[in-house]
Structure 1
Amino acid sequence: MTDAPLPDTAHTTFVIDGMHCGACTGRVERALAAEPGVVSAAANLMARSARVEFTAPATPASLAAALERAGYPVSTAEARLDIEGMTCASCAGRVERALTATPGVISAAVNLATQSATVGYAQGTVAPSELAQVVTAAGYPARVQAQGAAPAPVADRQAAETARLKRAVLISAVLTAPVFILAMGAHMIPGFHHWIARTIGEPASWWIQFVLTALVLAFPGRIFLRLGIPALLRGAPEMNSLVAMGALAAFLYSAVVVLAPGLVPPQSREVYFEAAAVIVTLILLGRWLEARAKGRAGEAISRLVGLRPATARVERASGVVELPVEELAPGDIVLLAPGERVAVDGEVTEGHGWIDESMLTGEPVPVEKTPGAKITGGTVNGQSALSFRVTATGADTVLSRIIALVAEAQGGKLPVQALVDKITRVFVPTVMGLSLLTFAIWMLAGQGFTHALIAAISVMIIACPCAMGLATPVSILVGTGRGAELGLLFRRGDALQRLAEIEIVAFDKTGTLTEGRPALTDLIPAAPGFAPDELLGMAAGAEARSEHPLAQALLAAAADRGVTPAPARRVKALPGRGLSAEVGGRAVLLGNTRAMTEAGVETALLAPAAQALAGEGKTPIWLAVDGQLAALLAVSDPLKKYAHDAVAALQYDGVEVALISGDTRATAQAVGRELGILRVVAEVLPEGKVDAVRDLHARGAVAFVGDGINDAPALAAADVGIAIGTGTDVAIEAAEVVLMQGDPQGVARAYALSRATMRNIKQNLFWAFAYNTALIPVAMGVLVPFGGPGLSPMLAAGAMAFSSVFVVTNALRLRRAGG
């Protein structure tokens, strides 16, 4: 569970487009953590963002400045606000102070003359509409000017990045193709070298390659130079530095051969323009494929965001008006047409219909809605017209909270990621050292400058740590997104890893494995003179005005069977026993054994059946008519439809299942027997559930499954707390995993998904580490003395790009997991 935040802490999220690998995220986190007042900092490579929790003296502006100094400037946006009511410089000062005190705001300039404010803020931290609300709350009504529209969401930024990379790849490929053909044609086509010599000549060929490669580096490849060289000069090289150094080394050496051949010995006058151009093209290709895959990986949030309609029809005194959803306020009455998507959370005020809530729960069966029922934004209305009163808007809606939870979990770091971060922190400098060592060894071995340079470049290119940096976050991204589709919300990414390590799952009983409400399970007539429906009608009639849960069970059973409760009068409650009434002119007594004994009603005929029912965890209820035993009824809390399947699935996976309940021992043990649960702890208060969880913890890691409210202490005490519920009733703050549907099978699905995600992460890490471990020595040339191959910069670039694409593609397999 998360620790309670420190007093007076604030948090903000910066969008940082300059992060490209695991080494980048480590440097971003260290730059932020070094600032006084920062409590925690977590960078998210997939979302290109960093979340910071801080206290004074840190401010969003100081944090943004720290990131700027580290070479990772935050993405900023600007909003313009129209403000009413400012009459003097003091008013403008108050507005400015209110804005600058808002987390995420970097600068604010208020213009008293034009009654406006220009606000610079870190993209992703706050929305222009929220800035307007801050000013309004300060006493000066404000609204966003049209040109101050909100910046593009993450999904749109990813799409834009993918399109930009695609253009860069196409341009680079067009410029690189002639270079590659001129340089490598002789190796692939017999006589091609002689044809070049007879036509344009070798010097012209080199000049063409020089110009085209310079264009590749100056335009599509300048991203590597723009990011990599400054990082190198700061003493914090990263993957862009490796690419920049490798491509520049090949290009500059070749340029010297073309422009000043006298500086190079005759035997070393070879050009390697194709290496520089192909390196850039292949790595851009890898990044484009990676961006496409990451876009698909992030589709979960994009789909959730897409569930929100843009407008809604609202009742006003003057009639029905169509308003943007952002302008809805609690209390508004919204008209919902058949087939329309619900705009925001609300409560039905008029109409009767069915709403598809599968986007929340994963359950395809629509849910009945009548006046008073809660409905959730993003769900889809059926064939009936409804009206509802808005109860929550903006960030307070269930859908917004789900989106925020998924986004936070996708940006989380698993414990296994700590090892990766430590390695990537030293990996790039180590590789550059190995590259220099490779160059020195081959020079000392007398292989010449050219051979040594090629080997050194190959080492730099092959070792880019993209695959290592992506191995964990991309799997978290896809895994948590898949969970959201299945109605499984991981509040934190590290819950994925801990849930996969669980050895014991402890279930609460009531409302988790059972329906949480009593239901009539048995009705046994004592004599053939009464029909079951007649007896049920008498019992329901006698209980019609009672609020006791057992009475509600009898009334619900009568309604389900279409039995009308018989009219009753002279109803008298018998505390601790039951009740008596006159039903249809007959004396009816309904209650426990004590009530029957005191009334002189003989129950011996059905006593064995009553004992058997009690042994099954059911509550026997006797019914006597005119002083004679008429029937034995039994009420219990029935098991949920798939409770047995959920327990069986966990046990099949080797997980021990336990039952912890505050109910009577007989009832709890009966439920345990029915479900095949051997370890049952009963008759415990909420505090006792905590002790039970701790006792189980001595046997292994424990997950506790409860309703998330009454079971909050046990949820907090467990290694992983899992809240099970439906719709708006889920206790999002009580657990690390929230099941949006009431089906306990969600626990088994969440466990299976977490295991699949961890397996996927381990596969990715194995590939990333094995790839570098195996190919760096090959690039250094350790096999060459034994007649083995070396590794050219082109092949190294291709292999490096493939490794990143492989990791992302492997993670995408999780989109089919847990179904």
Structure 2
Amino acid sequence: MATRPIDSQGQSINLDIGGMTCATCVNSIEKALHKLDGVDAHVNLALERASITFDPSLVTMPHLVETITELGYTVRKDHMSWVLSGMDEEPLRKRAMEAALSVAGVENVQINAVTGILSADLIRGVADSGKLTDALQKAGFTVKLKKSNELGPRSHEMASARNRLLLSVILTLPVWAGMIHMLFDTGPAWLGNGIMLGVFATLVEWGPGWGFIRRAWMNIRHRNANMDVLVASGTLAAWGLSLYDLTVHGPLYFDSSATVITLVLVGKYLEAVAKGRTSQAISELLSLRPQETRRLNARGEWDRVLIDAVQPGDILQVLAGERFGVDGIVVAGAGSADESMLTGEPLPRDKTVGDRVTAGTLNGTSTLEIRAERVGRDTTLAQIVRTVEEAQATKAPVQRYADIIANIFVPVVIAIALISFASWGLATGHWRFAALDAVAVLVVACPCALGLATPTA
């Protein structure tokens, strides 16, 4: 039994354990767990499950899992992924990772900044997708559980960025026309209507520009000053000053806020297109994996099953012209396989009994029967996909440098704007003109290469 008694605050969990074959396995696991302070365990061989009650103040869950795995057994886990918004920012990724790791039973959390996908291993019987989803939502993220073989959110992101840009251009055109009319006195008189310009500028600010304001608020809450903070503060300042001038019949600067938002949205659209192209490699790799296959049942008949249901040791039938869904060994038949996706060799390779086949490669002209060896995330194809995702998740040195500079650049610009406002206001007593100078500093700094070109590159 436990070397120390378990108090009333003890926590109970059920772990699915793989690799047990006999009563000796059960005894060894129970004995190892009972050596830990504040742990009481009962292992069921038939259910392959360990019912554990432990004192969290004396032993941690990772320690329990480690104790079992050190004996040579496995604690079963489910690998799941979520699509998150706002993963372009390092502080937000850190916040999401902290939220995920705060859920008991969640391990190996990884975030791909390019695809916007968070993946994690969930210990069966302890963690579930609902708890992790709730934790991420409470941290302020928009979350969607990613289904198996579902493509990333980049296609949706490209369409959304394009729609925001088109809407911003359409709403900004009347503002530009109005400003040209005011400067050069051309066109019909209604183009210079300040109220009309204010309406269109407001639609731009709180329509296509809402994304900048929302992300700026999220970054401020997480104590991060990025380019969204600068864009939001600059455009809101220009928009707010123009609204004030509209009431006192002063000069209007609605075109500044609308133009900055449109220009930055051009950069965001180019960035989304660039990311979409880099994610295309993963999409093409995933499309090589078939969704279904034929598996030999106990009656000697072939059943069509989902590829995710295949287990190591299953006998599968692959017809001519079909792709292999798992890594395995040929047990019946002779033919050839096109392995160009793996080796680059255009000529098919002969396959006979005992030869290995790889998931994603194409069967030739004859039917082959194979014994599955590596399935799901363990196949060569899945490992290639993971390698591509890890390469995408790695930031280029110039982008890491830009992130560091941005966290310094944005507060410095805002500080300069405040100093300009205070100094000119105190020196001249004309606070409206001082506000105009401060807004000019913010607006000029918004569409800079640091925020537009570097993320895309």
Structure 2 length-normalised TM: 0.69
Determine the C-alpha separation between the residues in 2 that align with 1:407 and 1:63.
22
The Cα offsets for residues 494-514 of structure 1, whole Å up to 9 and x where unpaired, read as xxxxxxxxxxxxxxxxxxxxx
Partner residue, 2:167: 171
- Tell me, in whole angstroms, the C-alpha distance in 2 between the residues paired with 1:399 and 1:421: 33
Post-superposition offset of 1:434: 3.0
Do the aligned residues in 2 keep the contact of 1:23 with 1:424 (CA within 8 Å)? no
Query: 1:338 Cα shift?
Result: 2.8
Aligned to 2:356: 374
Secondary structure (helix, strand or coil) at the match of 2:346 reads coil
Q: Distance in 2 between matches of 1:415 and 1:34?
A: 30
* 371 and 41 in structure 1: CA distance in 2 versus 1, 3 angstrom threshold: closer
Say whether the 8 Å CA contact 2:165–2:269 is kept in structure 1: yes
1:404 and 2:386 correspond: yes
Q: Does the C-alpha gap of structure 1 residues 245 and 151 become closer, same or farther in structure 2, counting only changes over 3 Å? A: farther
- Give the 3-state SS of the residue equivalent to 1:322 in structure 2: strand
- Shift in Å at residue 244 of structure 1? 1.7
Consecutive unaligned residues of structure 2, counting only runs of 5 or more, are 1-61, 67-76
Match of 2:261 in 1: 280
Match of 2:366 among 375, 384, 405: 384
Distance 1:333 1:289, change over 3 A: same
In the alignment, which of 229, 238, 241 is matched to residue 241 of structure 1? 229
Distance (whole Å) between structure 1 residues aligned to residue 148 and residue 101 of structure 2: 27
Structure 1 counterpart of 2:310? 328
Corresponding residue for residue 281 of structure 2: 300
Report SS of the residue matched to 1:298. Answer: helix
The 5 A counterparts of 1:695-714 are: none
Q: Deviations over 1:50-87 (max 9, x none)?
A: 567999xx978887777556x5426144xxxxxxxxxx
Secondary structure of 1:200's counterpart equals helix
**CA positional deviation for 1:459:** 4.3
Q: In the TM superposition, what are the counterparts of 1:127-276 in structure 2 within 5 Å? A: 150=147, 153-155=150-152, 157-185=153-181, 187=183, 190-192=184-186, 195-196=187-188, 199-200=189-190, 202=192, 205-232=193-220, 235-258=223-246, 260-261=247-248, 269-276=250-257
SS of the residue corresponding to residue 190 of structure 2 reads: coil
Matches within 5 A, 1:542-691: none
Q: Describe the SS at the equivalent of 1:346.
A: strand
Which secondary structure state, in structure 2, belongs to the residue aligned with residue 797 of structure 1?
coil
Cα 1:169–1:53 change in 2 (3 A) is same
What is aligned with 2:19? none
Give per-residue Cα distances to partners, 1:224-247, cap 9 Å, x unaligned: 223323543665443322222111
Output one character per residue of 1:740-796: Cα deviation in whole Å (capped at 9) or x when no partner.
xxxxxxxxxxxxxxxxxxxxxxxxxxxxxxxxxxxxxxxxxxxxxxxxxxxxxxxx5
> Does the residue aligned with 1:271 lie in a helix, a strand or coil?
coil
Q: How does 1:517-528 map to 2 (within 5 A)?
A: none
Q: Deviations over 1:694-745 (max 9, x none)?
A: xxxxxxxxxxxxxxxxxxxxxxxxxxxxxxxxxxxxxxxxxxxxxxxxxxxx
Q: Which residue of 1 aligns with 2:453?
A: 803
Compared with structure 1, are the counterparts of its residues 291 and 390 closer, same or farther at alpha carbon in structure 2 (3 Å cutoff)?
Answer: same
Aligned partner letter, 1:183 = M
SS, match of residue 316 in structure 2: strand
1:599-639 CA distances to partner (integer Å, 9 max, x unpaired)? Answer: xxxxxxxxxxxxxxxxxxxxxxxxxxxxxxxxxxxxxxxxx
How far apart, CA to CA, are the structure 2 residues paired with 1:33 and 1:439? 44
Supply the AA of the counterpart residue of 2:203: L
Shift of 1:324: 2.8
Residues 32 and 332 (structure 1), Cα distance of their counterparts in 2 relative to 1, 3 Å cut:
closer
In the alignment, is residue 434 of structure 1 matched against residue 84 of structure 2?
no
Equivalent residues of 1:16, 1:72 under 8 A apart: no
Contact 2:224 2:407 (8 Å CA) reproduced: no
Which residues of 2 match residues 73-152 of structure 1 at below 5 A?
Answer: 73=141, 75-77=143-145, 123=146, 150=147
Aligned-pair distance for 1:27? Answer: 5.4
The two structures, once aligned, show a CA RMSD in angstroms of: 4.0
Q: Offset of 1:253 from its aligned partner?
A: 1.1
Give the structure with higher Rg (CA).
Answer: 1
TM-score (norm 1): 0.41
Q: Compared with structure 1, are the counterparts of its residues 368 and 408 closer, same or farther at alpha carbon in structure 2 (3 Å cutoff)?
A: same
**Any idea what SS the aligned residue of 2:447 has?**
helix
Structure-2 change in CA distance of 1:174 and 1:322 (3 Å): same
Deviation, 1:273, is: 0.9
- Give the whole-Å Cα distance in 2 for the aligned partners of 1:363 and 1:454: 66
Q: Equivalent residue for 2:11?
A: none
Contact 1:26 1:421 in 2 (8 A): no
Question: C-alpha separation between the residues in 2 aligned to 1:462 and 1:59?
Answer: 49
Q: Distance in 2 between matches of 1:369 and 1:217?
A: 63
Following the alignment from structure 2 to structure 1, what is the Cα–Cα distance between the partners of residues 357 and 404?
A: 47
Whole-angstrom CA distance in 1 between matches of 2:241 and 2:369: 74
Instruction: Compute the displacement of 1:450 (Å).
Output: 5.8
CA distance in 2, matches of 1:410, 1:210: 42
Distance in 2 (CA, whole Å) between partners of 1:179 and 1:447 is 31
Contact map agreement 2:331 2:371 (CA 8 A) in 1: yes
Please state whether the residue corresponding to 2:353 is helix, strand or coil. Answer: coil
Tell me if the contact between 1:351 and 1:385 (Cα under 8 Å) persists in the aligned partners.
yes
Deviation of the 1:158 alpha carbon: 1.0
Alignment partner, residue 347 of structure 1: 329
Gaps of 5+ in 1: 1-5, 78-122, 124-149, 464-795, 811-819
Structure 1 partner of 2:17: none
1:394 to 348, 352, 376: 376
1:320 CA displacement: 4.4
Aligned match for 1:356, one of 338, 361, 365: 338
TM-fit CA distance, 1:431? 3.4
Distance 1:41 1:217, change over 3 A: same
Task: Return the match for 1:21 from 89, 94, 106.
Answer: 89
1:642-696 deviation line (CA, Å, top 9, x unaligned)? xxxxxxxxxxxxxxxxxxxxxxxxxxxxxxxxxxxxxxxxxxxxxxxxxxxxxxx
Aligned match of 2:33: none
The one-letter code sitting in structure 2 at the alignment partner of 1:200 is: W
Q: 2:190 corresponds to which letter in structure 1?
A: I
The residue identity in structure 1 corresponding to 2:206 is A
1:285, 1:801 within 8 Å by CA — same for their partners in 2?
A: no
Label 1:63 to 1:375 Cα distance change in 2 as closer, same or farther (>3 A): closer
**Per the alignment, do residues 387 and 448 of structure 1 end up closer, same or farther by CA in structure 2, a change over 3 Å counting?**
farther
Identify which of 95, 116, 119 aligns with 1:48: 116
8 Å Cα contact 1:26-1:43 kept in structure 2: no
